[in-house]
A and B are shown apart, each in its own frame.
Chain A
Amino acid sequence: MTGKLNLDPTVIAGARELARRAGEPVTELARTHTTVSVERAVLRLAGLDGADEDGMPWVNRLADAVRATTGLEHGVALPVWDAMLTGGYPDLRTLAVDAAAGLVKFRLPAGHEGDAASQAAFRSVKKGISRIDAQRAERDRMIAATSNPPMPWIYLIVATGDIYEDIPQAQAAAREGADIIAVIRSTGQSLLDYVPEGATREGYAGTYATQENFRLMRAALDDVSTELGRYVRLTNYASGLCMPEIASLAGLERLDMMLNDCMYGIIFRDINPVRTFIDQRFSRQVHARAGIVINTGEDNYLTTADAVDAAHTVVVSQLLNEYFGREAGLADAQLGLGHAFEINPEVPDSFLLELAHAQLIRELFPDAPLKYMPPTKHMTGNVFAGYLLDAFFNLCGVMTDQSILLIGMMTEGIHTPFLSDRDLALENVRYVRRAAARLGQEFRPEPDGFVAQRARQVLGESVDLLRTIGSQGLLTAIAEGTFGVTKRPADGGRGLDGVVQRAEGYFNPASDLLEVTQ
């Protein structure tokens, strides 16, 4: 450990222990409940795709039909595969069509029939998990055949709403130096309780996350990776009401990174806290298996709260994200913990404060591929000042050895980036990397100077807050507005009606397969 801040290892260990204690009751909730989206993910892993003529996916139609008859307390798997066997159905799609028409009488099979159903379900879901394993191996093969770019990886966003416009933009961005392409989702998607189907050509401020859009974009980036001799990673967003399903589709189509925060949906999208914690656990188990790096959303806290006052809430959320991530089976190298350069530039020593926060997080999570987000809140429309602020962001990122740099646009908050905005942004980061890539090695803050003291202060405040959360419970802390200044009670928000307590004998072949991997 080559610490620069003289952090006390016992304080750090204590903080991790407090995060574990705060998180454990919530994990227990996830182990004893399921959700409609978890059950639909089981059906997706078993290969059920497509949608009815209204665009409603067959997984929704089938899960709804099961829920209406046997309920979901025992999971969809037993009733569904029992109906497959007893009805002699050739595939899940045919069953789903009949079920949607009310032609299937679901029941909970017992004895030999129960065993037969569970074995059939296990075999079907295993095919999906095997495909995820094969995609993970294919990623390794592609990286070996091309190359793995050095960190910090340059992360650029495309967001046209039309997958066929996104593709050439993403390829152009890769050729200009992007290591990671993120396809921003349509702004409405996180609150849809289904995953849209097929290639989509319109969205609001982004492009819908669909299995086919994932496949098309990954294929296009494979082409450009081969052309450039450098593996270009693809990112999308799991957060929302369909985390388990989108995570499954991402694994099946070899996405490389997914935005997946343990609390983002709760705080910023008003999704029910219990629903979110159950869904995030399953989705992270899938990510763990798929070798997908998650990106957490702590940068968002700093856009609603003050970046100096709320610095410790970022650290607390990162420690919780780390606990929940590890518990779900993610390796440290899969924990792309997020933070941001959002301190008001009018504040004296703002750059020193940013350095302190960024270096603190680097030292707290030495093996995590930290994701550093550029300024947005203090981008005023003065594009010239904004370009300078972005350069300072890039410098801080380089100095503190951040792993993933989301490249800031000087026109942030004005419009979706012009071609020239992106080109200028890349010129900015290329200059900083060329000029100062090794500055991190030379940078040693005074042992008891401003930077080191500020870092220790933020760590101390984080421990205090974790202690408070531990004593009142995480769900109460969220209800009282601890994160992001928004109050989110455990019985409020969207999606609570999709939460079901597991009954004795609950069976989920996907969960069984995924738990084993730990």
Chain B
Amino acid sequence: MSLTGMVRPYGDTTGDGRVQLSFTLPVPFGDETERARAEGAALQLAAKMGLDPAMVVHAKGMGPDFTFFIVYGRVSHLVDLSAVTVTEREFPVLPAAEVNLRIRSALGRKLVVVGACIGTDAHTVGIDAILNVKGHAGEKGLEYYREIRVVNMGSQVGVADLVARAAAEHADAVLVSQVVTQRDAHLSNTREMSAAFHAGFGLQRPLLVVGGPRFDPSAAHDLGVDKIFGRGTTPSEVASYLVHALAGEGEAA
């Protein structure tokens, strides 16, 4: 199949354009009239979303005021693969031994990483998965790397404390995890953090890396950080990025 051509969703036949979706409408699903009206409402939404024809395969009232729908339908839209843009990873993922070797030869000392969850975010799952020896997805965390020294400040760390600790530890990199996204707290916290590092360190600031399931990985520049990692990032990806950014590589990336 061509990677630059036009495609449609695939149900069971090439080009059939079949998709499924489910949603809730704030409409009652009581007597026969209400049910007919609810299904009509669901079909109207499906049609406006470009499903033609569409079929309500399941409708269920939830309490007196809501109805849940599962809809199958055919979309006429074409997907233009040549117009799809992806961010390619700009660095190779290295095994732990190679990471250690590169740090040793490029820095001649341990690489220092300070990690924290900032703001009110108490979800340390992400930062712990990357930093703890235990690691994540079958990979050991950064504490496992002999040439990386990890300072994990834990959760709900104030930005000023993070800046002070990064200075005291002579951090090469600062890793910040943000899970909570209510009212875009992850974005405002990250901007506050990057502003504080830019103000406190100037050009000598440590590498700023943030991660979390709801970040847009292409927004690093906008948020004033060097790198954003999204959902599913593993410790070796982070370690490899740190080496790429801080311990040079044999050739230009």
Contacts and interface: CB of A to CB of B under 8 A. Distances in A.
Interface in B95-125: 120-125
A186 B156 CA distance: 12
A419 B24 contact: yes
Contacts of A485: 128, 132-134
Contacts of B154: 270
A270 B155 contact: yes
Interface in A408-430: 413, 418-420, 423-424
Contacts of A205: 180, 182
A306 B129 CA distance: 12
**Best-buried of B23, B128, B182 by chain A (most CB within 10 Å):** B182
Contacts of B121: 187, 204
Interface of B: 22-24, 60, 62-63, 66, 68, 120-125, 128, 132-134, 154-156, 180, 182-183, 185, 213
A486 B156 CA distance: 16
A268 B155 CA distance: 9
Contact of B125 (A172, A303, A418, A420): A303
Contacts of B156: 188, 191
B61 to A, nearest CB: 10
Given A187-B121, A269-B122, A304-B125, A420 B22 contact: yes
23 contacts: A176-B62, A187-B120, A187-B180, A188-B120, A188-B122, A191-B155, A191-B156, A204-B120, A269-B122, A269-B155, A270-B154, A303-B125, A304-B132, A306-B134, A420-B23, A420-B24, A423-B62, A424-B68, A485-B128, A485-B132, A485-B133, A485-B134, A486-B132
B124 A186 contact: no
Contacts, number: 60
A187 B123 contact: yes
Interface of A: 161, 172, 175-176, 186-188, 190-191, 204-205, 268-270, 303-306, 413, 418-420, 423-424, 485-486
Nearest to B63: A172
Contacts of A486: 128, 132
A175 B125 contact: no
A204 B60 contact: no
Contacts of A190: 122
B248 to A, nearest CB: 33
B207 to A, nearest CB: 25
A423 B66 CA distance: 11
A33 B219 CA distance: 50
Given A191-B156, A424-B68, 12 more contacts: A187-B120, A187-B180, A188-B156, A191-B155, A204-B180, A205-B180, A268-B122, A304-B128, A304-B132, A420-B24, A423-B60, A486-B128
A420 B62 contact: yes
A330 to B, nearest CB: 26
Contacts of A424: 68
Listed from nearest, the 3 A-B pairs whose CB atoms lie closest are A188-B120, A270-B154, A420-B68
Contacts of B155: 191, 269-270
A486 B153 CA distance: 12
A266 to B, nearest CB: 11
Contacts of B68: 419-420, 423-424
A350 to B, nearest CB: 16
Contact of A176 (B63, B120, B182): B63
Given A175-B63, A186-B120, A420-B62, A161 B125 contact: no
Contacts of A161: 182
A191 B182 contact: no
A159 B121 CA distance: 15
Contact of A419 (B66, B134, B180, B182): B66
Contacts of A304: 125, 128, 132, 134
B132 to A, nearest CB: 6
B120 A419 contact: no
A508 B218 CA distance: 58
Contacts of B22: 420
A236 to B, nearest CB: 16
A204 B180 CA distance: 7
A462 B123 CA distance: 28
A268 B124 contact: yes
A325 B22 CA distance: 46
Contacts of B132: 304, 485-486
A191 B155 CA distance: 10
Nearest to A381: B231
A208 B122 CA distance: 14
A218 B155 CA distance: 31
Given A161-B182, A270-B155, A191 B134 contact: no
A336 B211 CA distance: 35
Contacts of B60: 423
> Most chain-B Cβ atoms within 10 A of its Cβ — which of A175, A413, A423?
A423
Given A187-B122, A187-B180, A304-B134, A419 B62 contact: yes
A172 B182 CA distance: 23
A147 to B, nearest CB: 22
Contact of B122 (A191, A305, A420): A191
Nearest to A344: B138
Nearest to B132: A485
A506 to B, nearest CB: 32
Nearest to A492: B154
Contacts of B128: 304, 485-486
A204 B134 contact: no
A161 B133 CA distance: 34
A63 to B, nearest CB: 23
Nearest to A202: B183
Most chain B C-beta atoms within 10 Å of own C-beta, residue among A190, A270, A306: A270
A204 B185 contact: yes
A303 B24 CA distance: 31
Nearest to A413: B213
Nearest to B128: A304
B47 to A, nearest CB: 21
Question: Which of B68, B124, B134, B183: most chain A Cβ within 10 A?
Answer: B134
B127 to A, nearest CB: 11
A418 B22 CA distance: 11
B179 to A, nearest CB: 8
B182 A204 contact: yes
A97 B185 CA distance: 35
A205 B133 CA distance: 28
Contacts of B180: 187, 204-205
B145 to A, nearest CB: 17
A57 to B, nearest CB: 19
- Residue among A176, A190, A306, A485 facing the most chain B CB atoms (10 A cut-off): A485
A268 B125 CA distance: 9
Nearest to A303: B125
A176 B65 CA distance: 13
A464 to B, nearest CB: 20
Nearest to A191: B156
